[in-house]
Amino acid sequence: MAATSITYTQDQSTIVGPPTSYQVIETVTATVNIDQYVFVYRYSDQLYDHVATVLDVATYPTALNPAFPFYRQNTVTKVTTNSAEAIDFSAMVQSRLTSLAKEYDIVASGFVIGTVPVTVP
C-alpha cells in the first residue's frame, strides 16, 4: 500500500482595514489512502474546531448531521489581526496534517479495531 499523503494549498492574503487583517485559507486538494475532509467543525455553531484525528476521519460525517457533534470539511479559513497568529496557524496545520498522515499509516498497517484474541505462553 502506498504511503498516506495529503496535498493542500495555502492561500495567504491581507484584508485592508481598519483594522488590517490577515487571512489564511487551507484547502486539501488531493489525498492518498485518506479522505480529503480533515478539518473538523462544530455542529452547534459551524465554527472550525481542529484538524482531524484518525478517529475523527472514521467517525464524523462530511456534512451537517444533528446526530453528531462535529462534521468535517476540506477547507478552513483563519482571519486574524495578528500576522504572527496567521503564520502560526499555517504552521500548526502543516504539522497536524503531517502527523495525521503518519498516524493513518500506522492504523492502516496493523491496528485492528475490535476484540482480538491473544494467547501468550
Helix, strand, coil share of the chain (percent; to 5) = 25, 35, 40
With respect to residue 117, please indicate whether it lies within any of the assigned structural domains. Answer: no
Cell triple for 29 = 486538494
Query: What's the pTM?
Result: 0.87
What average pLDDT does range 60-79 have in this prediction? 97
What average pLDDT does range 99-104 have in this prediction? 95
pLDDT level of residue 111 (50, 70, 90 thresholds): low
pLDDT of residue 35: 94
Strand pairing class (48-51; 75-80): unpaired
With respect to residue 102, please indicate whether it lies within any of the assigned structural domains. Answer: yes
Cell triple for 97 = 496534517
pLDDT tens readout for residues 17-50: 889 999 999 999 999 999 999 999 999 999 999 9
With respect to residue 43, please indicate whether it lies within any of the assigned structural domains. Answer: yes
Are 33 and 57 in contact, with CB atoms under 8 Å apart?
Answer: no
Domain hosting 77: range is 5-107
With respect to residue 92, please indicate whether it lies within any of the assigned structural domains. Answer: yes
Indicate the number of domains in the chain.
1
With respect to residue 41, please indicate whether it lies within any of the assigned structural domains. Answer: yes
With respect to residue 118, please indicate whether it lies within any of the assigned structural domains. Answer: no
**Measured between alpha carbons, how far is 60 from 53 in angstroms, rounded to an integer?**
10
SS3 category, 120: coil
With respect to residue 62, please indicate whether it lies within any of the assigned structural domains. Answer: yes
With respect to residue 121, please indicate whether it lies within any of the assigned structural domains. Answer: no
What average pLDDT does range 49-66 have in this prediction? 96
